[in-house]
Amino acid sequence: MHYRQTRAEISSSAIKHNANWVRRIMEGGKLLGVVKADGYGHGVIPAVRALEPHVDGMAAGFMEEALAVRESGYKGPLVILEGCFSAAELTICYEQDLSPVVHCEQQLECIEQAQLRSPLWVWLKIDTGMHRLGWPQEQAQQALNRLQSSNNVSGVTLMSHLANADAEHSRNASQKQQFNKLSDTLSGYQALSFHNSAGLLNPDTQWPLQANDWLRAGLLLYGVNPSSVTEVQTELQPAMRLVAPVIALHKLEKGESVGYGSAWTADKPRVVATVAMGYADGYPRQAQNGTPAMVRGQRVGLAGRVSMDMLTIDVTEVEGVQIGDDVELWGQNVDVRRVADCADTISWHLLTGVSGRVPRVIV
């Protein structure tokens, strides 16, 4: 039972719509639905159940996340993006039919030394410029040879990761060229994975996806455009609507302030509404005055600092606001990217940062 009206409304139909849209623009290849970070904050169970009929596989960040996906009932291909670092984890990979990423020598040695009843499909990560995870390109063939000769490996997907696909950047073309060269010259792999959501959209990184190419889609599936290709957002349906009620109304005279630090002062007689949403719920404390929200179908702006449990908005121009009215903090009417801009952060951060005390309600 939830008494507080604050909630994150999750639309399964929006996730399905977005997955089908991604499949259309892929024009081939296989779709890997990324459900790490509790389904990008949407809840792993609703995300998995909405995506399952529309993807060819899924990906989690680490073992505990992968097991949560399996516990949701999903039995298809499942990749662990950070890979495994122990024999115990590899045993679970065998038992649960999981595919670990191999991005370093320690992980490769662990696979070579494991005692598994049947082999695993693994994803070999090569560093083409991200410099976060992955084998140096000059060691790629050696790593492939070792995997190919191991009785614990049934097949290999060769992968890399784009560092700047969300915008125009000279390194996009460089990474694409390096990965194309690798895939042409290396032997011992059976599939490829280079594109993330933004890489699919960026003209600098696009190429025709072949039957065994995997697209790793994350943010796009949840209805948010991760790229600078502006027209894409009109094709997507935001899957999360963050909503909280008005719990108080105050009339301020000119010169009066609201909130900690008196960071917002009325320039004339104003009405402010207190909303049951704060940084403990995942709303960004650094959001600036004027950050958009919506109440009674009208756009309003943040007024004053966000506190732990509450924030305040200027509703002077909105007629009839009452205690209990829903305020949309982001969703179908308030672009989460705009809120992120006002808080000097990114939409990934906001969606995954919605805390556990905000119920996810399937709509």
Residues noted as catalytic:
36, 260
Measured CA to CA, the distance from residue 102 to residue 159 in angstroms comes to 10
Q: What is the crossing angle of helices 105-113 and 87-96, to 10°?
A: 70
Q: 125: which strand partners?
A: 159
Question: How would you class 289 by CB atoms within 10 Å of its CB: exposed for 0-12, middle for 13-18, buried for 19 or more?
Answer: middle
From residue 262, alpha-carbon distances to 258, 285, 302, 310, 363 in Å are 5, 15, 13, 15, 38
Q: Across the chain, where does the E strand assignment appear? A: 7-10, 30-34, 57-60, 78-80, 99-102, 120-125, 153-159, 191-196, 213-217, 240-252, 257-258, 264-265, 270-275, 292-295, 298-302, 311-314, 326-330, 360-362
